[in-house]
Every structure is written in C-alpha cells, then in structure tokens.
Amino acid sequence: MNELQLKYGCNPNQKPSRIFMENGAELPVTVLSGRPGYINFLDAFNGWQLVTELKRATGLPAATSFKHVSPAGAAVGKPLTDVERKIYFVGSRPLSPLACAYARARGADRMSSFGDFIALSDECDEDTAKLISMEVSDGVIAPGYSEAALSILQAKRKGSYNIIKIDPAYRPAPIERKQVYGITFEQGRNELDINREMFQNIVTQNKELPESAVIDLQIAMITLKYTQSNSVCYVYNGQAIGIGAGQQSRIHCTRLAGGKADNWFLRQHPKVLGLQFKKGLGRANRDNAIDVYIGEEWEDVLGDDVWADTFEVRPEPLTREEKKEWIARFTGVTLGSDAFFPFGDNIERAHKSGVKYLAQPGGSIRDDQVIATCDKYDMVMCFTGIRLFHH
C-alpha cells in the first residue's frame, strides 16, 4: 500500500487528506487499529525518529510523549525511584525497561502529555501497554507489539485507539520536500549524528563533564532535534523534565522549560506526596489539582467546593519559601539549546532550576558574557557549533 486516506487534515475543514509514497513505493507503516489523523502521523513520525536516535545514542529503550509536533517528554529506560513511581502513578509492580521509559516520558510533564501520541523504540510489551491503557492518549507507534500488548491496546477506547506499526528497516530519501502556499520547499534531511564528540569543546573554567551528564546532554540535543523551534530542554537522570518549544524568544523558551522542570521537582515535595485525594478521583483530575496546588495562587483558584470534591483533607499551603528551598536541593541538571544563548539571562534562569551542564551552538556576539555567567555559578558549558532548528 502506498497511500492511506485520512479523516481530514490539521482541521476538519481541510479535506481531502492523505499520506502517500511517491513513485509507487510502499508505506513503511501499518495501521493495526483506529484511524490516525494528519497530526497523529506528524507526531508519530517525529516521535519515531526521536526514540530511534535516543536508543542508538544510549543503548537503552526509549519513549517519547508527543503533542502537536513537539515532545512533551522523552526518556530512556532507567529504573524508576520509589518517588518517581508515586508521582507517575505506576504502583510498585516490576516494570520492563521500555515501560520505565514511557512512564518517565509521560510523567515529566503530565499536563502537556494529556492526549499524547506515543513513540516507542522497541516492541511494545505487556508492561508498557498496561501503562498506556491507563492514560488519556491518542495513539502509539512502535516497531512491533507482543500478542498480549496488542490485545490490551486494541481494547482501549472501545477499539478505536490508534495503533501504528512501523518498519524499523525503513530509511527515507536524503532529500525531503513539503509544500507551503502551493510552493514546494526542498532540503537535505537533518542526518546529524548527535554523539559524545559533540560536547568536547568546553568553553567554561569548569571542564569536568561526567559520563552521566554526557548522556543527558545527548538526550537534550536529540530531543531538541525534533522539537519546534525556538526550543530548550532540561534533562535530569535520563529524562527530559522541561521542554520549552516554539517560542520566538530564547529567554521565554528557558523560562517555560524551567518552570516545567520546577514543577517536576515540586511534585516530589513531601507535601505533594502527602496529598490525600478522594477515592476514585481520575488521573487527569489529580494532575490538575497538583498543578494548581504547586502554583502561585492555589488558594484563590480552588474554592471550598473544589477542595471538598478533590481531597479527603484540605492540604496545608506549600509556601513560596518552601518551594524555593525545595527546588534549590536539585543540582546536576543539564540544559540543551537548539541555537545560541544571546544573553546571560538564560543562564541566570537555568541556575534557578539546578542546571550544572549546558550545551549550545555558540556564536553570539555576547558569548563572553554568557560564559562569564556560567563561570559565576561554576557551570560546565560546551559549544557544539551545531544549530538544531526544526520546523
């Protein structure tokens, strides 16, 4: 099959819609369930590229949670801590490495991941399918599915859940094209290999870059390669914890992603872990309540009636001072940027979220100022010389 008709394009009024291969070639995907749409396939193909590169770079199974052609989260299959198990709502049962990767990709920014499209680097196993079955999601792409996993996923959303199988041997042509306003654009595919050699040009006084930070920098830069620009990515222990995508200003990317990273840290605060939700409260409602609770004006947002519907016991406030003190405990965070930092304010903001290691292309007329700001906080920064814009 070299063509697949879609329900509609980006919006219901955009018809007809299809994906197809030119020159009669076969599509490298098979739809096993559901009817994926235009945006679903954009998320699926970008996500698939991301996880295959993460797997190749780290040797670990990888997963990503995509929304509107940018990742909400991405991670490799490192084991979950007890605290991560709790904040990701996965319980105490053993999980496969792939399931750990998805739990971490989905759990980093659960608000943004609501209704995600999932990409998995490896065959979807039963553990991973069980986690997916409990979340609000549009679909999944993977190189294969175990019999048990496929049975679980085909039962999701009354059989309409989108399940796509992709041929892992598929390799696209080196030249890619797209049309905008009836005009065809053509460019060479971004086949840049993001390997550890990219981080050898350390420009700061501190040049101690541990192996764990190299892996996290690879995760950050690979994630940025498939994130709508401008973009920055915070990574901690093998998972993206804050992604700022599609902003016109670099500092807005850094603030947006930093705020998401802070929320990830705050979800682990003892007061948040101790929240007593009403029995039967759905995951999405718990996520929303937590997001409001750790926000700036939580008492104004949640009135007495909402507290009564959400919690068994009205929680004590999480004060601004407590939040600041808790976030300050986290160090060793890495940060990648798809283009150079034009000012040192980005570094100042990154420092507030525990960033220690950074990678960026370099090339700003204010590089000296940016380096000096890093030196002020004893950070380690690499100049990669490579820009990673994605549109």
Distance CA(76)–CA(98), nearest Å, equals: 8
Residue 10 confidence (pLDDT) above 90: yes
Burial of 22 (0-12, 13-18, 19+ CB in 10 A): exposed
Residue 296 confidence class, pLDDT cut points 50, 70, 90: low
Residue 60 confidence (pLDDT) above 70: yes
Place of tokens 């670990």: 60
Distance CA(265)–CA(324), nearest Å, equals: 11
Closest CA to 287 of 66, 115, 68: 115
Average pLDDT (96-112) is 95
In tens, the pLDDT along 314-331 reads 888 888 899 999 999 999
Specify the pLDDT at position 330: 94
Distance CA(370)–CA(343), nearest Å, equals: 6
Specify the pLDDT at position 116: 96
Contact of 68 with 47, CB cutoff 8 Å: no
Catalytic residue among 23, 158, 279, 391: 391
Specify the pLDDT at position 342: 92
Specify the pLDDT at position 300: 60
To the query of whether residue 68 is one of the catalytic residues in this protein, the response is yes
Neighbours of 25 (CB within 10 A): 11
- Residue-averaged pLDDT of the chain: 94
To the query of whether residue 351 is one of the catalytic residues in this protein, the response is no
For residue 232, give both structure tokens.
């920055």
To the query of whether residue 67 is one of the catalytic residues in this protein, the response is yes
- How far CA 284 is from CA of 112, 113, 135, 208, 320, in Å, comes to 11, 10, 9, 41, 25
Q: Which residues of 58-88 are buried (b: 16+ CB within 10 A; e: fewer)?
A: bebbbbbbbbbbbbbbbbbbbebeeebbbbb
3-171: CATH number? 3.40.140.20
Specify the pLDDT at position 316: 86
Instruction: Report the percentage of the chain scoring pLDDT > 90.
Output: 87
Catalytic residue among 46, 162, 230, 263: 230
Average pLDDT (107-127) is 95
Residue 20 confidence (pLDDT) above 90: yes
Instruction: Name every residue whose Cβ is closer than 8 Å to that of residue 185 and which is 6 or more positions away in sequence.
Output: 177, 178, 179
C-alpha radius of gyration, the chain, whole number: 21
Residue 168 confidence (pLDDT) above 60: yes
- How far CA 163 is from CA of 41, 134, 153, in Å, comes to 11, 15, 8
Neighbours of 195 (CB within 10 A): 12
Domain range list for the chain: 3-171, 193-266+328-383, 270-317
Specify the pLDDT at position 298: 62
Specify the pLDDT at position 223: 97
- How far CA 89 is from CA of 149, 173, 325, in Å, comes to 20, 41, 25
Q: Do the domains 193-266+328-383 and 3-171 match in fold? A: yes
pLDDT higher at 49 or 285 = 49
Specify the pLDDT at position 61: 98
Specify the pLDDT at position 301: 59
Specify the pLDDT at position 305: 61
Specify the pLDDT at position 99: 98
Give this prediction's pTM: 0.95
Specify the pLDDT at position 124: 98
Specify the pLDDT at position 130: 97
Residue 16: is the preceding peptide bond cis (ω within 30°)? yes
Average pLDDT (129-155) is 97
Specify the pLDDT at position 299: 59
Q: Assign a CATH topology to domain 193-266+328-383.
A: Cytidine Deaminase; domain 2 (3.40.140)
To the query of whether residue 285 is one of the catalytic residues in this protein, the response is no
Distance CA(379)–CA(213), nearest Å, equals: 12
Distance CA(343)–CA(373), nearest Å, equals: 9
Contact of 48 with 225, CB cutoff 8 Å: no
In tens, the pLDDT along 178-209 reads 999 999 999 999 999 999 999 999 999 999 99
Residue 118 confidence (pLDDT) above 60: yes
Catalytic residue among 40, 46, 55, 67: 67
